[in-house]
Amino acid sequence: METKNTLRSHYREARKDVKDKEKLSEIICARIKTLEIYQKSAFPALYWACANEASLLKICEERQKAGLKFGLPRSLNENGEMEFFEAKLNEMSLDCHKILSPLAEKRILPQDLDCIFVPALAFDFLGNRLGQGGGYYDRYLKGCVNAIKIGVCFSVQISQNSLKTNELDEKVNFIISEKGIIKC
C-alpha cells in the first residue's frame, strides 16, 4: 500500500492538472445548491480555495449578495489550530499561512454547525479523506458533532481504492465533484 505522502504527491499533481477548474468549480457549486442540508442551513461552513482546490467562491458571493451568513476557516497558528468565523468577503485578512481568511471576530462553535464543506487532496467511497497532512480539518471536524460533513473535490481526486486511515482521521458523509454527489 502506498504511503500517505506518496498519495499526497499523486493527488496534488492530479488536482494541479485539472483543466477548466473555474468551470468545474461552478458545476460543483450548482450541485451543492441542490443539497437539502445546504438549502436549509442558516450558517454553512465553507472554505476558501487554495492550491488548485475546487472553488466555492460563487456560493460565498451569492450568499453575501443575498444577505445570508456563511463561515470560513482561519488557521490560528502552525500547530493545527483552526476555527471558523462568520465571513464577509470585503473584510478578510491573511492568516498565519498567508491564506485569505475571515477576520477573527465572530467565531462559530463547531457543535453549532449543521453542515461543513471540506476540501482534501483525495476522498474514497467510504468517506475517508486524505488532507494536506497538518491535521487542521481532522481536529476541527471532531467537534462538529451535529454537522453533515461534505467533501468537495474534482473527480480525479476520488480514489477507487480505500485510503489508508488512522484513529485521528475524520470521515465525510458525502462527496461532491463535478460528476455528482456520492453518499458515503
Per-residue pLDDT 10s for the chain (184 aa) are 578 889 999 999 999 999 999 999 999 999 999 999 999 999 999 999 988 999 999 999 999 999 999 999 999 988 878 999 999 999 999 988 888 899 989 999 999 999 999 999 999 999 999 988 888 999 999 999 999 999 999 999 999 999 988 888 899 999 999 999 999 9
* Within-domain flag for 133: yes
Domain harbouring 168, CATH code: 3.40.50.10420
How many domains does the structure of the chain reveal?
Answer: 1
In-domain check, residue 65:
no
Task: Please give the residue range of the domain that contains residue 130.
Answer: 4-55+77-82+106-183
Sequence-separated (6 or more) residues with CB below 8 Å from residue 128: 162, 163, 165, 169, 171
State the first-to-last Cα distance of the chain, in angstroms, to the nearest integer. 22
Answer yes or no: is 8 within a domain: yes
Residues 6+ away with beta carbon under 8 Å from 163: 7, 122, 123, 124, 128, 129, 130
Phi/psi for 93 (5° steps) reads -150, 170
Q: How far is CA 73 from CA 70, 103, 150, 177, 178, in A?
A: 10, 10, 15, 21, 23
Judge whether 62 lies within some domain. no
